Chains A and B, each alone.
Chain A
Amino acid sequence: MALINKLYTKMKENSWLANLTYSFLAIVMALIIGAILIHISGHNVWQAYYYLFYGAFGNSYNLAQTLLKTTPLIFTGLAVAIGFQSGLFNIGGEGQLYWGAFVTAIVAIAFSALPGVILIPLSLVSGALAGGLWSIIPGYLKAKTGAHEVITTIMFNYIGILATSFLLKNYFKADGPVDQTRMIPESAGLKELIPYTRLTWAIILGVFIIFIVDYLLKNTSLGFDLQAVGYNPAAAEYAGISAEWILVITMGLSGAIAGLAGSTMVLGVLHRFITNFSPGYGFTGIAVAVLGRNKPWGVLAAALLFGALEAGGMSMQLFAKIPQDLMTIVQGLVILFVAAPAFIQIITRFSVGGKGAGLNE
C-alpha cells in the first residue's frame, strides 16, 4: 500500500505520468475484454496472447513486421493529432494518403532519369504537397462557410479515392489486368533497414517528422497560434490571430503529413501505385492520435502499439485461428476508454491527477 500511495502522490505532481497510466490502464482493460471474448468463442486465451506477443516481438523478422505496420500509422496519427491541436478533426487521412501515394508514384516515374538523392526527396515533397492541397479544401470550407470538417473530409475520402482511381485507369495504368502504375525506378526505392524485410528508413523519416512537429508546437509562434485557436478560437481572434487562416494552415499541414504516409508506402513497400492499397491507415490514424493524446511523441508510442496489434493479430489468426478482427475490437475499446478518463478512474478506483485526455475542453 505504501508503494501505491507513493506512486499516487508522484502522479498527482506529474500529469504526463498520469496520462501514461490512463492510457496503459485503457489498453489493459481492452485486452481483458478481448480475453473474455476469446474465452467465450472457445479458444485458449494464453495461447492467443502468446501468439499475439510472439507475432509482434518474437524475433527480428516479427519485430520488423511490427515496425513496418507502425510506419504509416506514425504519419496518419500525427496528421490527426496536429489537426486536433487547433480543434480540427481531420477524418480525411485516407483520401489525403491516396493523393500522396498517387502523385509520388507519378513523379517518381516521370523523373526516373534523376539520381536517387534528388528523386526521393522530390517524390516525397510532391506527395506531401498533394495530400496538403487536398486537405486545404475542407479546411477552407470550414473557415469560410463553417461546413463541418468531419463530414467534408469523409466525403473527400470517397472523392479522393475515386479521383486517383479515375486518373490511374485513364492515363497512367500499366499494361495488365491490375489497376496499377508502372514500377517506380529502382533509384527511387527506399533502402532496407533490416535485410530480408520490407522495413525501410521510412520509419526514421517518421520519427524525424515527429521531432519537427513537436518542435513546431513547442517552440514556434505558429505552434502557439495553432494551439491558441484550438483552445479558444474567439480569444485567439482577440489576441490578433486569424483563426480562419490558422485553420487552413493546420489542415494543410495535417494533409501533407497524411500524404507522406502514402508516399512512403509507394517508395518503400509497394514500389508503384495500386488502387485500394490502404487497409484504412487514415482511419487507424484517428485511433493512434486519440491514444497518443495528440502529442507527437505520444503518437509514436500509440503507433507502435497499433503496429504490434496488427502484426501480432495476424500471427494470432494464423497460429491460433482467432479472427484478427478481434484486434479491431480492442482498438475501438482503447479509444472509448482513453476518451473517458473518468471511466477508467471509477473502474480502477484509482484517482490520479492531471487533466486527462484534454479533448473535453
Chain B
Amino acid sequence: MNEIITSIFSLNTTAAAIRMTTPLALAAMGGTFSERSGIVNIGLEGMILSGAFAGVLGSFYTGNPWIGVLLAAVAGGLMAALFAIFTIKYKANHVVTGVGLNILALGATTWLMQVLWGSRGSSPTVKGLGEISLPLLKDIPVIDRLLGSQSPLVYLMFILVVAGWILLFKTPLGLRIRMTGEHPEAADTLGIDTKKIQYFSVILSGALSGLGGAYLSLGQLNWFSMNMSAGRGYMALAANTFGQWNPLGGLGASFLFSFTDAVQMRLQGLNLGIANEIIQMLPYLLTVIVLAGAVVRSRPPQALGEHYESGK
C-alpha cells in the first residue's frame, strides 16, 4: 500500500500532471474570458483542435515550430471570430453554435489531413518544440524535478495565466469585460461598447485555446492526429466553472483534473488487479463530482448566455 501511495504522489506524477495541465489551463482561461463577457463557449473543443492542426501545418511548411505556435493561436482566434460573429452579430444560440463549430473543426481538420497528406489517422512527423531548462529553476532541488525541464509552452502558460488574471481583475479592460457579462445594460449606459468587448473576449479565448492545441501537437507530440483534442475543451469548461471564472482558479482546477489523469495512468502501469476501464474513469468521475459539489457555491456571470441589444 505504501508503495502505491509513494508511487502516486511522486514528483514524476506531479511533473506529468503539470505537463497535462498546460492545454487545459490555457483553454480554461479562454472559457473564463468568454464567459465573463457573457458568451457560453462550448466551441473551445473545436478551437483547441484547429490550433493543434494549424501548429503542425506551420511547422510542416516552414520547419519552424514557433511559426506553428503562432499559426495555432491565429487559427484558434479565427475559429473564435467565426463563433463570435454567429453568436454576437446573428444572435445564434451559444451552445448550438459551439457544437456546430466543434463538428466543423473535426470535419475540416480530418478532411485537410487527407487532402494534404493522404492519411485520415495522423499527419507526418514535424519539428516539435522540445524541452528547455531554465537555469534558475534548475538549481532548486524539488522545483528542478517539477519545472526544471519542460516544454517552453508550459512556462508560457504560467506567464499567460498570471497575465490573464491581472488583465481580468486589475485593469479597466477587465472591469469592462466583467461588467458586460454581469450587467450589459449598465455597461452600455456607461458608454462601454459591449459587442466590442465580447468580440475581444471570445477571440482571445480562441487564441488561448489554439495555443493549448499547439501544446498537444508540437509540445507533447510532434504530429497531429484525428480528434486530438479528445474532449479537453469540455473539460476545460468544467475547470473554468470549478475555478470560479478566474484564470488562477481555472489553473488550479485543471491541475486537479490532470493530476487525477496522471495518477490514473500511473495506476494502470502498476498492475493492481483493478480493471483499466475503472481506473480510466477517475478523471471523468472527479469532474462530475466536482461540478455537482462546486456549482452550489459558485455564481456564473449574471448575463451568461443572453443576447443583449443596445437600446440607443
Cα of A146 to Cα of B295 in the assembled complex, Å: 6
* Assembled-state Cα–Cα distance A138/B115 (Å): 40
Choose one: A158, A169, A283; the contact of B281 (CB below 8 Å): A158
Residues of A within 8 A of B307 (CB): 360
Which residues of A from 176 to 194 have beta carbons under 8 Å from B? none
Which of B89, B114, B241 has most chain A Cβ within 10 Å? Answer: B114
Interface contact B288-A156, CB-CB below 8 Å: yes
A357 interface residue, CB < 8 Å from B? Answer: yes
State whether the Cβ of A7 lies closer than 8 Å to any Cβ in chain B.
no
Count of chain B residues with a beta carbon within 8 Å of a chain A beta carbon: 46
**Contact yes or no, B293 A145, CB < 8 A:** yes
Smallest beta-carbon distance B10→chain A, Å: 25
Is the beta-carbon distance between A339 and B93 smaller than 8 angstroms?
yes
Whether A145 pairs with B292 at a CB distance below 8 angstroms is yes
Contact B241 A342 (CB under 8 A): no
Is A89 engaged at the interface, CB distance under 8 Å to the other chain?
yes
Do B120 and A325 have beta carbons less than 8 Å apart? yes
Within 8 A of A (CB), among B71-117: 82, 86, 89-93, 95-97, 99-108, 110-111, 114-115
Residue pair B107, A360 in contact (C-beta under 8 Å) = no
Task: Assess the A339–B284 pair: CB atoms within 8 A.
Answer: no
Instruction: Decide if A331 touches B107 in the complex (CB within 8 Å).
Output: yes
Interchain CA distance A326-B111 in the complex, whole Å: 6
Residues of B within 8 A of A147 (CB): 288, 291-292, 295
Interface flag for A335 (CB, 8 Å): yes
B106 with A328: CB separation less than 8 A:
yes
Q: B288 CB to closest chain A CB, in angstroms? A: 5
Q: Which residues of A contact B115 (CB under 8 A)?
A: 41, 323
Name the CB-closest residue of B to A155.
B284
State how many residues of chain A have any CB contact under 8 Å with chain B. Answer: 50
- Least CB distance, B36 to chain A, in whole angstroms: 16
Are B285 and A333 in contact, CB atoms less than 8 angstroms apart?
A: no
Beyond A148-B295, A151-B234, A336-B97, is A329–B104 a contact (Cβ under 8 Å)?
A: yes
Comparing B129-137, B146-154, B272-280, the segment that makes contact with chain A is B272-280
A204 CB-CB contact with B under 8 Å? no
> Does B56 sit within 8 A of A, measured CB to CB?
no
A339 and B120 contacting across the interface, CB-CB below 8 Å: no
- Asked if residues B110 and A325 are in contact (CB atoms below 8 Å), the reply is yes
Contact indicator A151/B291 (Cβ below 8 Å): yes
> How would residues 277 to 312 of chain B score, 1 for a CB under 8 Å from any chain A CB and 0 otherwise?
110110011011001110110000000000100000
Identify the interface centre among B101, B106, B285, B288: most chain A CB within 10 Å of its CB: B288
The reply to whether B93 and A357 form a contact with Cβ atoms under 8 Å apart is yes
CA A145 to CA B290, docked complex, whole Å: 11
Interface residues of A in 135-161 (CB under 8 A from B): 138, 141, 144-148, 150-152, 154-156, 158-159
Q: A147-B291, A286-B99, A359-B93 are in contact. Are A329 and B281 (CB under 8 A)?
A: no
B124 close to A (CB within 8 Å): no
Q: In the assembled complex, which residues on chain B have CB atoms less than 8 Å from the CB atom of A277?
A: none
Q: Is the CB of A155 within 8 A of B295?
A: no
- Taking the complex as formed, is A105 at the interface, i.e. its CB lies under 8 A from any CB of chain B? no
A331 to B99, CA, bound (A): 11
By the criterion CB–CB under 8 Å, are A287 and B103 in contact?
A: yes
A-B contact pairs, 9 of them (CB 8 A): A145-B293, A148-B295, A323-B110, A323-B111, A325-B107, A328-B103, A331-B107, A335-B96, A340-B91
- Given A163-B277, A166-B277, 10 extra CB contacts under 8 A: A151-B291, A155-B284, A290-B96, A323-B111, A330-B107, A333-B100, A339-B93, A340-B86, A340-B91, A343-B86
Mark B residues whose CB is within 8 Å of A. 42, 82, 86, 89-93, 95-97, 99-108, 110-111, 114-115, 120, 231, 234, 237-238, 241, 275, 277-278, 280-281, 284-285, 287-288, 291-293, 295-296, 307
Q: Which 3 A-B pairs have the closest CB atoms?
A: A328-B107, A332-B104, A335-B100
